[in-house]
Structure 1
Amino acid sequence: MQQLAGLHNSKIPPIEVPASFIGNNEHVPSALIAGPPADYEGAMSVNATDELCKICDGRIECAPTAILLISLVHTLYGHIGPEPDYFGKNKRFILKQAEEEIKDPFIQYTHFNRFTDVHSKKSDGVAFDAEYDFIVVGGGTAGCVLASRLSENRKWKVLMIEAGPEEPKMALIPGLTSEFKGSNIDWQYSMRPKKGFCQNHGDRGCEVVQGRVLGGTSSINDMAYMRGSPADYDEWAILGNEGWSYNEVLPYFKYSEGNYDKDISKNKFFHSTQGPLDVGRYPHVDDNVDVLLSALNEVGYNYTDVNGRHQLGFMRIQTMSYFGERVSAFTAFIEPVRKLRSNLEIVSEALVTKIIFDNTRDTVTALGVEYIKNGTRVRVRATKEVILSAGAINSPKLLMQSGIGPKEYLEYLDLKAIYDLPVGGNFHDHVSVCLPVIKLGKTSTTSKFPEKLKDITTYYSKGIGPLSANFQVVAFLETSISDILGTADIEVRFKGHDSNMYYDKIEMCVSLLTPKSRGQVVLNATDPVFGKPLVYPNFLKDPSDEKKLLEGIQEIVKLFDTEVFKNAEYSFDPRNILNNDCKDHDRVSEDFWSCIIKHFSTPLHNYVGTCKMGTSKDPDSVVDKNLKVFGVTNLRVVDASIMPKITRGSTAAPVIMIAEKASDIIKTNWY
Structure 2
Amino acid sequence: MERFDYVIVGGGSAGCVLAHRLSAVPSLRVALIEAGRDTPPGAVPAAILDSYPMPVFCGDTYIWPELKASATRTAAPRVYEQGRVMGGGSSINVQSANRGLPRDYDDWAANGATGWAWQDVLPYFRKLERDVNFPEGELHGGDGPVPIRRILQADWPPFCHAFADGMRKNGFASLQDQNGEFGDGYFPGAFSNLDDKRVSTAVAYLDEQTRRRRNLHIYPDLRVERIVMEGMVARGVVAVARNGAHVRFEANEVVLCAGALQSPALLMRAGVGARDDLSALGIDCMIDLPGVGRNLQDHPSLTFCHFLERRYRMPLSRRRASMTAARFTSGVAGCDASDLYLSSATRAAWHALGNRLGLFFLWCNRPHSRGRVQLVSPDAAVPPRVDLNLLDDPRDVARLAFGVRMLAKIVEASGLSHDPRDFFPAAFSPRVKALSRVGTRNAALTSMLGVLLDTPAPIRRALIERFFTGGQKMSALLADEHALESSIRANVFGVWHASGTCKMGDVNDVMAVTDNAGRVRGAQGLRVVDASLMPRLPSANTNIPTIMMAEKIADAMVARRYPGAASSTTSSTVVGR
Kindly report which structure 2 residues correspond to 1:46-57, keeping only aligned pairs within 5 A, or say none.
none
User: Is the 2:54–2:349 contact (alpha carbons within 8 Å) kept by the matching residues of 1?
Assistant: no
Q: TM-score, normalising length from structure 2? A: 0.83
2:302 to 433, 438, 442: 433
Name the amino acid aligned to 2:300.
Answer: V
Greater mean alpha carbon deviation, residues 651-660 or residues 571-580? 571-580
Distance 2:334 2:87 in 1: 34
Look up the equivalent residue of 1:252 and give its one-letter code: Y
Contact 1:225 1:319 in 2 (8 A): yes
Instruction: Give, in angstroms, the shift of residue 446 of structure 1.
Output: 6.6
Q: 1:514-562, CA deviations, whole angstroms, 9 ceiling, x for partnerless residues? A: 211111111133x531111110111101111100111111112111332
Match of 2:326 in 1: 475
1:170 alignment counterpart: 47
| Pick aligned residue for 1:265 from 132, 135, 143 | 135
The 1:419–1:322 alpha-carbon spacing in structure 2 relative to 1, beyond 3 Å, is: same
Q: Residues 151 and 193 (structure 1 numbering): CA distance in 2 closer, same or farther, change over 3 Å?
A: closer
Residues 367 and 580 of structure 1, relative CA distance in 2, 3 Å threshold: farther
What is the match of residue 529 of structure 2?
638
Q: In structure 2, what is the equivalent of residue 299 of structure 1?
A: 170
Q: Residue 428 of structure 1 contacts residue 537 of structure 1 at CA under 8 Å; is this kept in 2?
A: yes
Report Cα offsets for 1:265-297 as digits up to 9, x if no partner.
34x111111101111125974321222223212
1:329 aligns with 2:179: no
Query: Is the Cα contact below 8 Å between 1:403 and 1:416 reproduced in 2?
Result: yes
- Residue of 399, 414, 428 corresponding to 2:282: 414
Q: Distance in 1 between matches of 2:552 and 2:174?
A: 30
Which residues in structure 2 correspond to 1:513-524 (within 5 Å)? 513-524=365-376
**Contact residue 440 and residue 570 of structure 1 kept, 8 A:** no
Counterpart of 1:160 in 2: which secondary structure?
Answer: strand
Q: What's the counterpart of residue 181 of structure 1?
A: 58
| Residues in 2 aligned to 1:341 and 1:488: alpha-carbon distance in whole angstroms | 44
Shift of 1:493: 1.2
My pick for the range that moved more, 176-185 or 273-282, is: 176-185
Q: Contact 1:491–1:510 (CA<8 Å) still a contact in 2?
A: yes
The reply to whether residue 213 of structure 1 matches residue 213 of structure 2 is no
Of the candidates 488, 509, 514, which is equivalent to residue 618 of structure 1?
A: 509
Are the aligned partners of 2:3 and 2:250 in contact in 1 as well (CA < 8 Å)? yes
2:431 match: none
Structure 1 residue 489, shift from structure 2 partner: 0.8
Q: Give the 3 Å change call, closer, same or farther, for CA 195–130 of structure 1 in structure 2.
A: closer
In structure 2, relative to structure 1, the CA distance for the partners of 1:552 and 1:652 (3 Å cut) is: same
Match of 2:409 among 558, 567, 571: 558
Deviations 1:352-399 (A, max 9, x none): 11111222xxxx21111111124321111113x211100000100111
Q: SS at 2:297's partner residue?
A: coil
Q: C-alpha root-mean-square deviation of aligned residues, in Å?
A: 2.5
Distance (whole Å) between structure 1 residues aligned to residue 314 and residue 174 of structure 2:
28
Distance 1:192 1:393, change over 3 A: closer
The answer to whether the Cα contact below 8 Å between 2:72 and 2:391 also exists between their aligned partners in 1 is no
Of the candidates 310, 318, 322, which is equivalent to residue 190 of structure 2? Answer: 318
- The amino acid across from 2:138 in the alignment is F
Alpha-carbon shift at residue 584 of structure 1 (Å): 12
What SS class does the counterpart of residue 150 from structure 2 fall into? Answer: coil
Distance 1:569 1:426, change over 3 A: closer
Correspondence 1:544-555 to 2 at 5 A: 544-555=395-406
Could you tell me how far 1:403 is from its partner in structure 2? 1.0
8 Å CA contact 1:134–1:386 kept in 2: the answer is yes
- Kept in 2, the 8 Å contact 1:140–1:390? The answer is yes
What is the match of residue 341 of structure 2? Answer: 491
Structure 1 alignment gaps of length 5 or more: 1-128, 456-465
Deviations 1:170-189 (A, max 9, x none): 20101243433341210124
Q: Shift in Å at residue 633 of structure 1?
A: 1.2
Q: Distance in 2 between matches of 1:560 and 1:652?
A: 29
Larger radius of gyration, structure 1 or 2? 1
Residue number in structure 2 paired with 1:595: 486
When structure 1 is superposed on structure 2, of 553-562 and 536-545 the one drifting more is: 553-562
- Following superposition, the deviation at residue 473 of structure 1 comes to 1.2
Instruction: Determine the C-alpha separation between the residues in 2 that align with 1:655 and 1:538.
Output: 23
Q: Which amino acid counterpart does residue 334 of structure 1 have in structure 2?
A: L
Equivalent of residue 379 in structure 1, options 237, 244, 248 = 248
Note closer, same or farther for the CA distance 1:293–1:586 as it changes in structure 2 (3 Å cut).
Answer: closer
Aligned counterpart, 1:280 = 149
Structure 2 counterpart of 1:408, which letter? D
Q: Which amino acid is 1:188 matched to?
A: P
CA distance in 2, matches of 1:570, 1:273: 46
**Do residues 229 (structure 1) and 67 (structure 2) align?**
no
Cα distance in 2, alignment partners of residues 290 and 197 from structure 1? 39
C-alpha change, 1:321 and 1:307, in structure 2 (3 Å) is same
CA distance in 1, matches of 2:98, 2:475: 39
Q: TM-score, normalised by structure 1?
A: 0.72
Cα distance per residue 1:590-640 (max 9 Å; x no partner): 112112212221110000000011112112110011211000012110000
SS at match of 1:472: strand
